[in-house]
Amino acid sequence: MTRDRILDGVTVVDLSTFVTGGFCSLMLANQGADVIKVERPGTGDDIRGSGPPFVDGESPYYWTVNYDKRSIELDLKTEGGMAALYDLAAEADVFLQNFRPGVDERLGVAYGDVAELNPEVVYCSISAFGETGPWRQRPGYDLLVQGLSGIMSVTGEPDGPPVKLGLPGTDLITGMWAAFGIVGALYRRQLTGEGDYLELGMLDATLPWLTKQAGKVFAGEEPGRMGTKDPVLAPYQTFETADGHLNVACLNGKLWRALCDAIGAPELADDDRFGSNADRVEHMDELEAEIEARLAERPTDEWLDVLVEAGVPAGKVQSVAEALSNEQTDARGVVRDLEDPETGRSVPAIEHPLNFRRAESGFRRTPPRLGEHTREVLAEVGYDDDSIDELAAAGAFGEPDAGATDD
C-alpha cells in the first residue's frame, strides 16, 4: 500500500547543530520522516540564539531549518542522558551528526557505537573537510568554505574584492548532498537489508557546483570575477534601468534578435561584434554599454512588460520580501503559515519545491520549542512516567526538573 508520504515511518535521530545537518534533516522531515532533534539542555541548538532579529524571543533563522521536527533535551555527559540516546539510536533508521572528526568517538556516538546497537542504521557524519586529509581537524564554516572552494574568487565585480554569497550557500549545498545520500542509503537498505555509513565534508560537497568555472580550469583558463555576467553566454546578466535592475538571459540567436527588436535597436543584431554568442562574449563590455544605454531610458516594470511580450527571458531583481510574496509565489502557495494548535502561535514557512502526484509532501508542524517533546519521545521507546521522572531528577535533561516538559 502506498504511504501518504515517501519517508513515512522513517525515524531520524539528529544530533547536528546549525545549518548543514539542520537543512538535511529538514528536507527529510518535509517528506514525512520523524526527525528527533537532540539538543543540549537549557540552550539547545546554537541556531536558536542566532540573531537578531527575534520574534517573541525566537529566532526566525532557527525556524527556517527546523519545521516539522521534535525536540528532546539530553545531557550526553550524564549516564542517563547517554542511555536514553542509545535507546533512541537503537530504534532509529537514520543517525545524523556534524561533529568535528573525533568528537563523535569521545562522546560515544561514533558509527561503531551506534551500529553495535542498530546494525541496519544509516549513519551520516558531516564535517567541514571530511574524515581524511591534512585539514580534517580544522574547524570550518560557510564563510571559510566559500573562500576555499573558489566561490568567492568568481563572485563580485572584476575590479573589486572577492565577495561572499549573500546566503550560507555551502551549508545548504552540504545539507542537500547529505539528504540525497541518506535517501540513497535507505533505498539500498530496502534492497539489501544492510545499513550504511555515509561521511561528507563541506568543501567536497561544494566543489561539484563549480560547473562552468571548473570547465574553464579544465580548458587551461583561469575564471575570474565577472559581476553578474556569465563566462560563456551573452547577454546573460543584470542591466540597470531608469529605476532599478533587470536580468536578461539570451541563450541563442533567436532570443538575441528578439531582444534587439524589443529595445528598439534592431541594428545590433546585424553588428559583426555581436553576430554569434562567441562574438558577444568576446565583446561583452561593448555589448553591455549598447544594451544599458537603451534600458536606462525606461523603468524596470515597463521594460519587463515589453520583453515578456517579445518572448525574451527577463526578470526583475527583487528584494527578498518581494521574492517571498508576489503573484507567482502566492499562486503556488510557496510561503504559508504553520499553526501550533496548543499555543496558537503562527510561524511562516517556505515550502520545499517537491510536488508529487502520488505522494504528499510539505511541512505540518511549527519548529519545536526546546525540549518540547522530551517525554513524548522517550515514552515511545518504552520509558514510563516514573523512569522519565528519575532521569529528570538525575539531570539527564539538564538541571533537575528544568528540561523535560509535559507538552
Report the DSSP pairing between strands 122-127 and 196-201: parallel
- The two counts, helices (H) then strands (E), for the chain are 17, 11
Amino acid 404: pLDDT: 46
Q: What is the pLDDT of residue 401?
A: 52
**Domain boundary assignment for the chain:** 11-209+330-393, 236-317
Q: Which residues are catalytic?
A: 171
Burial (CB count <10 Å: 0-12, 13-18, 19+), residue 285: exposed
Q: What is the DSSP string of 32-98?
A: T-EEEEEE-TTT-SGGGG--S--BTTB-HHHHHTTTTEEEEE--TTSHHHHHHHHHHHHH-SEEEE-
Spell out the residues 6+ positions from residue 123 whose beta carbon is closer than 8 angstroms to its own. Answer: 94, 95, 96, 111, 114, 115, 195, 196, 197, 198
The total number of residues written for the chain in this structure:
407
Among residues 345, 367, 363, 343, the alpha carbon closest in space to that of 353 is found at 363
Run means of pLDDT, 10 residues per run, the chain, 407 residues: 82 97 98 98 95 91 97 97 98 98 97 98 98 95 98 96 97 98 98 98 98 94 94 95 97 96 97 96 96 97 97 97 97 96 90 95 95 98 97 93 46
* 236-317 belongs to CATH 3.30.1540.10: yes
- Contact in structure between 72 and 402 (CB atoms under 8 Å): no
Q: Cell 532533534 identifies what position?
A: 37
Q: Which amino acid is at 371?
A: G
**What CATH homologous superfamily does 11-209+330-393 map to?**
Crotonobetainyl-coa:carnitine coa-transferase; domain 1 (3.40.50.10540)
Can you give the pTM of this predicted structure?
A: 0.93
Residue 77 neighbours by CB under 8 Å, 6+ apart: none
Report residue 298 as a C-alpha cell.
525606461
For position 231, what pLDDT does the model report?
87
Which residue type is seen at 162? Answer: P
Interior CA angle at 305 toward 302 and 309, to 5°? 145
pLDDT value of residue 3: 57
Q: Closest Cα partner for 18 from 180, 149, 143, 106?
A: 143
65: CB partners within 8 A, 6+ apart: 19, 22, 23, 26, 47
Q: What is the dihedral of CA 103, 106, 112, 117, to 10 degrees?
A: -110
The DSSP code for 298 is: S
Hunting for cell 520545499 — which residue is that? 352
